[in-house]
Amino acid sequence: MASVLRAAGRGAGAVTAATCTCAAGLYVADRDAFDTAQRFRRTAALSAWMLADYSWHLRLHPPDSTTREDALEDCHRRNAPLLRNLCFQNGGIYIKIGQLLGIMDNLLPKAYVEELQACFDACPRSTSADVERVILEDLGKRPLELFETFEQEPVASASLAQVHRATLPGGKQLAVKVQHRPLLRLARTEMAGIDLVLRCVRLIEPRFGFQWLAEEVRESLPKELDFRLEAQNAARCRKIMAAAGLSSAVVVPETHAPLSSTRVLVMDFEEGQSLASNAAAMRAEGVQPHSVVRRFSEAYAEMAFGEGFLHCDPHPGNVLWRRSQDA
């Protein structure tokens, strides 16, 4: 164990020393770049520790050992909370990756899935100043120059953005989705750091290859960070529901293009409760769970088999239910 830890420690120490040296200079020039360097340092250090822990215990318990599975489970239980804490501490893209891993119960050990599901409830919040700055940079005006009212406190926050309530002069209720400010500018750098750590891990220990994860996020992240694409997808989905006669039962909020941009998406505010609600909560509102499932299935069948255009991220935060005459 000592030799493995020394090797991992030397690697982590070298990365940490280099990162700290660079970070000292970066802090003065660019706080965002400094924070990126700090996130990379933490990621590299934890990767080295986890690699050493797994490598040592798997060597102590060879494949034919009757204790190997128990030892592996112990490793999972020790390291899963550490990975969760790293996602919390680093925030942003790391929270997004934690969410992706948190639903992969068919690929990852149970301990990791259970710990990383907490990433759905641990999303960062941008300050009011950062929110105003993003809106000003993208739309050329401050929030109260664009909207009659704009609530400073977000009603929801996700890994990449947060949502604020606002109104137009006529009283129309809006949901204003604002991207966390540094994400778009630093996304490529962040992913390069994550990719480097995963490559190093795979070179040292091929059994721990998660390179596919970096490739998946690298491909999807630029699309998720361009809210204009989300607006286009919403408009297309709304047309599909209307053509299928489902628009009164499956509501896709209408977007407002003149008030939207790459990092700001404005849409109608629609009330609803998360699909994470249990069946009893639905029945208490006079809604039968099977009716929600039926509508949901009809909508997905229409998208998949009718149009070949599919909403591929239907987690509880993205799909809400509410009582209506059509429910």
User: Which amino acid is located at 312 in the chain?
Assistant: C
Q: Return the DSSP state at 266.
A: E
What is the rounded average pLDDT for all residues in the chain? Answer: 84
Looking at the predicted structure, is the pLDDT value of residue 65 above 90?
A: no
Listed range (23-32, 102-111, 116-125, 234-243) with the worst mean pLDDT: 23-32
Residue 64 has pLDDT above 80, yes or no: yes
CB-based contact 157:175 (threshold 8 Å): no
pLDDT of residue 8: 46
Q: How large is the average pLDDT for residues 228-241?
A: 95
Q: Encoding tokens for residue 219?
A: 């491909």
- What residue type is 54 in one-letter code? Y
pLDDT confidence of residue 16:
47
Which CATH number does the domain 125-179+226-243+251-270 belong to among 3.30.200.20, 3.40.50.2000, 3.40.50.970, 3.40.50.11900?
3.30.200.20
Q: What is the pLDDT of residue 282?
A: 87
Q: What is the pLDDT of residue 207?
A: 65
Task: Return the pLDDT at 5.
Answer: 41
At 131 the pLDDT is 98
End-to-end Cα, the chain, rounded Å: 60
| Residue spans of alpha helices (H) in the chain | 2-29, 31-60, 68-90, 93-102, 110-116, 128-139, 143-146, 183-204, 211-224, 227-243, 279-284, 289-301
Is the pLDDT at 189 greater than 50? The verdict is yes
Closest by CA to 227, choosing from 184, 182, 166, is 184
pLDDT band at residue 214, thresholds of 50, 70 and 90? confident
Percent of the chain with pLDDT over 70: 87
Distance in angstroms (rounded) separating the CA atoms of residues 8 and 57 = 14
pLDDT of residue 28: 46
Output the furthest CA–CA distance in the chain (Å, rounded). Answer: 72
Tell whether the model's pLDDT for residue 192 goes beyond 90.
no
State what percent of residues in the chain have pLDDT above 90: 42
**Domain residue spans in the chain?**
2-120+183-224, 125-179+226-243+251-270, 272-327
Mean pLDDT of the 51-61 span: 89
When pLDDT is averaged across residues 282-299 and rounded to a whole number, the result is 89
- The verdict on whether 313 is a catalytic residue reads yes
pLDDT digits (tens, 9 = 90+) for 240-270: 999 999 988 899 999 999 999 999 999 999 9
Q: What does the angle CA 161 – CA 162 – CA 164 come to, to the nearest 5 degrees?
A: 145
Q: Please give the pLDDT value at position 204.
A: 60
Position 325 confidence tier, pLDDT thresholds 50, 70, 90: low
Position of tokens 């941008």?
126
Quickly state the pLDDT bin for 206 (edges 50, 70, 90): low
Give 108's DSSP letter. S
User: Mapping DSSP to helix (H, G, I), strand (E, B) and coil, where does residue 176 land?
Assistant: strand
Q: In the predicted model, what is the mean pLDDT of residues 163-184? A: 95
User: Given a cut of 80, is residue 4 above it in pLDDT?
Assistant: no
Q: 14 pLDDT exceeds 90?
A: no
**Residue of 207, 212, 174 lying closest to 97 (CA atoms):** 212
Amino acid 211: pLDDT: 74
Residue 229 or 184, more confident: 229
